Structure 1
């Protein structure tokens, strides 16, 4: 990690300055402890729960879903224990337009989106941050596991959390330097396990200490993404074909598949070699899904669009590591900007790369930026893309 001084508690102010902080409280243990730490550090903290669902359910289903009436009540109780003011802000319309409808549209176009990145970009560090700044707050505090470092010139850098196992910098790679200047992540620079965070919550008297973490997509409480999309997009029967174009099965909607998927294909014709087949391509134009062997998923390069930089963009071709999924491993790459698009070449073939996903570049622990994958190169030899 960089030797720059860690400054997670003073965006826009000198070290040790007392800030007006708006703590986003989801009703979970991480955001509650983050708010408590910010208050304990001497900041003037106000808690806010974002009502993101137009029709919140009374109770979540185990660890699935969020933004329920139960969650808002849990957040309010935590704020009462911490001793900070608390409000509920209704951002349901903005969330529906910028996150849910975008999610549906991306799947309809044959892409695989990450709604958590979109929520951080459009809701927590755009709509929420803009409103907070307009009301005179200095920073937005969340329970994300990431670290903001301050360079000697005062500019901010986003880095991985101290504990790599809990690092969430991937879903924050959409934040630009202005947003980082007003971001506070009190959990990111401490080497504490989740059990220790829960123990801290218990010591503080927070009832959410043993509440299950929310998993999967927050607005699909039952975890049935295909069913959710089917209700939005309707059934549309189409063909599943192999690489030669021969039909090997049918489906009720190409949007129900993702590149690299193996389970749930229900193919009527087995492969000649008897090996499993995977989704290689999704074509919304003709509603066709193409399947093939695992080795056909090998990707050697990609082009990504709509790059967002956590500081200055790359000046030229350079070596980085890239993360392609929220909990994926780093892979070495060479990347550069070409006419506003990010061109990335992998040092070796990688799998599980789908259009619509985010590629996030790292320089050591520093997040360079992110972009949305548009196309991939699956040639078996070294790609023609020169970076």
Structure 2
């Protein structure tokens, strides 16, 4: 066995995972490449279903395989469409139908992608699994493994990895966490793949390649449009303002595409699926001071002490806000030092101690709005 160990490298065919694989290969690991097929674009029915979208298409599969073959390590294609669809897509649809805003990338990482990789790593006799995420994994002196932000703040992906459990973290390598994207682009050139540095990156949900989640829901749920059309827009006091196209087609904080004229900017501040009601208010009405978070996964520590101060991020590109955590029977209550705008049930709340992720969970509800 190679003295560095054997690693199963998830390769999408893009610049990040390709460079990560070649880095590990150069460092002396025995690399096995694997590309996961999660979804058939043609079956999505979207307007970009046959275009390059960054992963899960034949061109990306071929790019990943070509890099592996050229550098002398094996490559496999892993079909996880059944595993992916049953959980990630069903959860995506169910959350919108419950009036919440899901984050399918977090769900995929937490419940599907890493578990699928580890299962195949064990079957292939691999010591580690690796991905091209911009984050770091360290081991605390308490023995627990935890995630640390990638040093490139513009690319940091620690937010989407909060759900990984200890058995996964202990066997995961993230080669790109200590590099900036500019350095990775240069490495692509140095490895002889200048075209990778020019390849478009995908920021879309992989199974919604045209970025139209509303269209996806309509195609996925038979009769949805007719079922939810014609609900009421109401103001924060319950006064009817007009009709909307159906509560699943709106998200907290949304301003554009409301198709209603009120003479002033209006924002979606709440969604009630039971009554098919969408509440519109002013930007100030989006602010909240406390929220409940459930489905917690603690990483750096095995729990918290009441009142622990953390920086809480409520969305991927959020800068975070100082807060205190308090244990509840079903998770934690997060109390912010200052009002936070746009807290959306269904999204992830991730708790940081400096650059270290101590844990995260799913936002359940906002407890208090301050005017």
Q: Give TM-score, length-normalised by structure 1.
A: 0.88
| 1:174-231 deviation line (CA, Å, top 9, x unaligned) | 11222110111000012x2x23312211221234332110112111111111111122
Give matches, 1:79-90, under 5 Å.
79-90=68-79
TM superposition shift of 1:88: 0.2
Structure 2 partner of 1:133: 122
- Confirm whether residue 363 of structure 1 aligns to residue 353 of structure 2: yes
Q: Alpha carbons of 1:241 and 1:340: their partners in 2 closer, same or farther (altered >3 Å)?
A: closer
* Comparing 72-81 and 20-29, the one that deviates more: 72-81
Give the conservation status (yes or no) of the 8 Å contact 1:143–1:187.
yes
Q: Size of the alignment, in residue pairs? A: 359
Superposed counterparts of 1:95-114, under 5 Å: 95-114=84-103
Give the distance between the partners of 2:315 and 2:369, measured in 1 at CA: 22
Q: CA deviation at 1:336?
A: 2.3
CA contact (8 A) 2:266 2:280 kept: yes
Does residue 203 in structure 1 map to residue 190 in structure 2?
yes
Matching residue within 303, 317, 328 for 1:327 = 317
Choose from 33, 36, 42 the match for 2:19. 33
On the 8 A contact 1:23/1:46 being kept in 2, the answer is yes
- Structure 1 residue runs of 4 or more that deviate by more than 3 Å after TM superposition: 54-62, 151-155
CA distance in 1, matches of 2:209, 2:125: 35
| Paired position in structure 2 for 1:385 | none
Q: 1 CA distance for matches of 2:105 and 2:31?
A: 25
Residues of 2 paired with 1:55 and 1:221: CA distance?
Answer: 7
Corresponding residue SS for 1:165: coil
CA distance in 1 between partners of 2:280 and 2:41 (Å): 38
The equivalent residue for 2:274 is: 285
C-alpha displacement of 1:65: 5.6
Report how far residue 251 of structure 1 moved.
Answer: 2.2
| Aligned partner (choices 202, 208, 218) of residue 214 of structure 1 | 202
Alignment of 1:145-160 (within 5 A): 145-152=134-141, 154-160=143-149
| Residues 41, 209 of structure 2: 8 Å contact kept | no
Gaps of 5+ in 1: 1-15, 382-387
TM-score, structure 2 normalization: 0.92
Q: Does 1:310 align with 2:296?
A: no
- The aligned counterpart of 1:47 is 33
1:224 maps to which residue?
Answer: 212
Q: CA deviation at 1:164?
A: 1.6
Aligned CA RMSD, in angstroms, stands at 1.9
Q: Structure 1 pair 123/140, CA: closer, same or farther in 2 (3 Å)?
A: same
Asked if the contact 2:247/2:278 (under 8 Å) is kept, the reply is: yes
